[in-house]
């Protein structure tokens, strides 16, 4: 593999890595949202039971 | 925005980028002067143009906010800036890799195109500091919108800097003589990669916007229940 080929491959891999990193971050965000929805649903249920 | 549009954009991005990158590596000929390293062009330039498109989109949404006072445009403008900054980082990184292989340095402060893009990137990065230093509400939305609108002025300056600069070392492909700068196969591959990158940005924007809207609604719900 020539030096130019290494750099070109690196450029494309960097883009792929950033997109994959974004997907991982977004997956964490989705799990946080899911947890918050569960907490709010639980809170709403407790309110309803107390009323 | 309907969820089916996000799925369609993601599928289009995956398909177009797969085809575009395959063509870039296996179909287009080596450029006479640049050789194999010219293949960075098919990812670097579409990413840079997509970053500009995101900032334009952010400014358009900011203008709509200031014009109509409809607060939903605030989140749309913010999301577009968010996407623009991500594509801006990728532009700087892929550009640096190309500079290293072509010029032998990772960065050149003497190159106006690079420095102006960095200024544009830092300007939009500071958008987040402004936004999160003000309490949520109409005031923050207006301030963010005005800032996003100011930033868009830098885009034509950044884009034209390469054409106005003297002693160029950054290559110019899209000038009045684009036909002789790019062969048909190169132009086609570039256009496929550009369409793929725009679809990718659209897909990320749609998903990010949906996430931010859900986040906002959950906050409202939390306040209502507390």
CA-nearest residue to A42 within chain B is: B225
Q: Residue range A33-40: average pLDDT? A: 90
Residue with tokens 């999160």: B132
pLDDT above 70 (res B150): yes
Per-residue confidence at B186, pLDDT binned at 50, 70, 90? confident
pLDDT above 90 (res B157): no
Residue B181 confidence (pLDDT) = 67
- Domain B3-225 fold: 1.20.120
With an 8 Å Cβ cutoff, are B97 and A12 in contact?
A: no
Distance from CA of B38 to the nearest CA of A (A): 8
What dihedral angle (degrees, nearest 10) is formed by the CA atoms of B175, B179, B182, B186? Answer: 120
pLDDT above 80 (res B160): no
To the nearest whole number, what is the mean pLDDT of chain B? Answer: 87
Residue A46 confidence (pLDDT) = 87
Chain B residues with beta carbon closer than 8 angstroms to that of A44: 225
Per-residue confidence at B164, pLDDT binned at 50, 70, 90? low
pLDDT above 70 (res B172): no
Tokens of B117: 């893009």
3-class secondary-structure state, position B62: helix
Burial of B163 (0-12, 13-18, 19+ CB in 10 A): exposed
To the nearest whole number, what is the mean pLDDT of chain A? Answer: 89
Q: Between B6 and A18, where is the model more confident?
A: A18
Q: Testing the interface with A: which of B10, B40, B44, B102 to mutate, by most A Cβ within 10 A?
A: B40
Asked if A2 is an interface residue toward chain B (Cβ–Cβ < 8 A), one would say yes
Q: Identify whether the C-beta of residue B51 lies closer than 8 Å to the C-beta of residue B88.
A: yes
Residue A47 confidence (pLDDT) = 84
pLDDT above 70 (res B24): yes
**Which residues does B6 contact at the CB level (< 8 Å), separation at least 6?**
B203, B206, B207, B210
Per-residue confidence at B19, pLDDT binned at 50, 70, 90? very high
Residue B87 confidence (pLDDT) = 96
pLDDT above 50 (res B71): yes
Domain ranges of chain B: 3-225
Using CA atoms, how far apart are residues B20 and B42, in angstroms rounded to an integer? 8
Residue B176 confidence (pLDDT) = 56
3-state helix, strand, coil in chain A (%, to 5): 95, 0, 5
Of the candidates B37, B94, B100, the beta carbon closest to that of A15 is on B94
Cα-flanking dihedrals φ and ψ of residue B147, to 5°? -65, -45
The count of other CB atoms within 10 Å of the CB of residue B93 is: 19
- pLDDT cut 90: percent of chain B above it: 54
Using CA atoms, how far apart are residues B218 and A25, in angstroms rounded to an integer? 19
Residue B201 confidence (pLDDT) = 95
Residue B64 confidence (pLDDT) = 95
Q: Residue range B15-39: average pLDDT? A: 87
Using CA atoms, how far apart are residues B117 and B197, in angstroms rounded to an integer? 19
Residue B154 confidence (pLDDT) = 79
Chain A residues with beta carbon closer than 8 angstroms to that of B37: 4, 7-8
pLDDT above 60 (res B108): yes
pLDDT above 80 (res B133): yes
* Model pLDDT for residues B195-221, shown as the tens digit of each residue: 999 999 999 999 999 999 999 899 888
Asked if A47 is an interface residue toward chain B (Cβ–Cβ < 8 A), one would say yes
Chain B residues with beta carbon closer than 8 angstroms to that of A2: 36
pLDDT above 80 (res B112): no
Asked if B82 is an interface residue toward chain A (Cβ–Cβ < 8 A), one would say no
Asked if B208 is an interface residue toward chain A (Cβ–Cβ < 8 A), one would say yes
Q: Residue range B121-134: average pLDDT? A: 92
With an 8 Å Cβ cutoff, are A37 and B93 in contact?
A: no
pLDDT above 50 (res B168): no
């Amino acid at each position: 593999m020539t030096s130019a080929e290494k750099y070109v491959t690196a450029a494309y891999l960097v883009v792929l890595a950033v997109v994959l990193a974004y997907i991982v971050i977004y997956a964490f965000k989705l799990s946080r949202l899911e947890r918050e929805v569960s907490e709010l649903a639980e809170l709403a249920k407790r309110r309803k039971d107390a009323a | 925005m309907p969820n089916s549009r996000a799925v369609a954009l993601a599928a289009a991005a995956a398909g177009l980028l797969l085809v575009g990158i395959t063509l870039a590596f296996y179909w287009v000929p080596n450029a006479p002067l640049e050789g194999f390293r010219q293949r960075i062009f098919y990812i670097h330039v579409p990413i840079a143009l997509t970053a500009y498109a995101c900032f334009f989109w952010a400014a358009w949404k900011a203008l709509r906010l200031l014009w109509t006072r409809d607060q939903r445009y605030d989140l749309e403008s913010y999301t577009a800036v968010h996407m623009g900054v991500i594509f801006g980082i990728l532009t700087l990184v892929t550009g640096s890799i190309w500079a290293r292989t072509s010029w032998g340095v990772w960065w050149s402060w003497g190159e106006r195109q690079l420095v102006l893009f960095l200024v544009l990137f830092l300007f939009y990065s500071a958008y987040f500091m402004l936004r999160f230093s003000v309490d949520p509400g109409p005031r923050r939305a207006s301030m963010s919108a005005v800032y996003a609108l100011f930033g868009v002025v830098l885009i034509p300056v950044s884009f034209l800097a390469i054409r106005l600069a003297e002693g160029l070392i950054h290559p110019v492909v899209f000038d009045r003589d684009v036909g002789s700068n790019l062969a048909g196969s190169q132009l086609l591959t570039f256009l496929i990669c550009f369409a793929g990158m725009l679809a990718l940005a659209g897909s990320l924007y749609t998903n990010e916007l949906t996430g931010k809207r859900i986040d906002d609604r959950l906050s409202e719900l939390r306040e209502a229940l507390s």
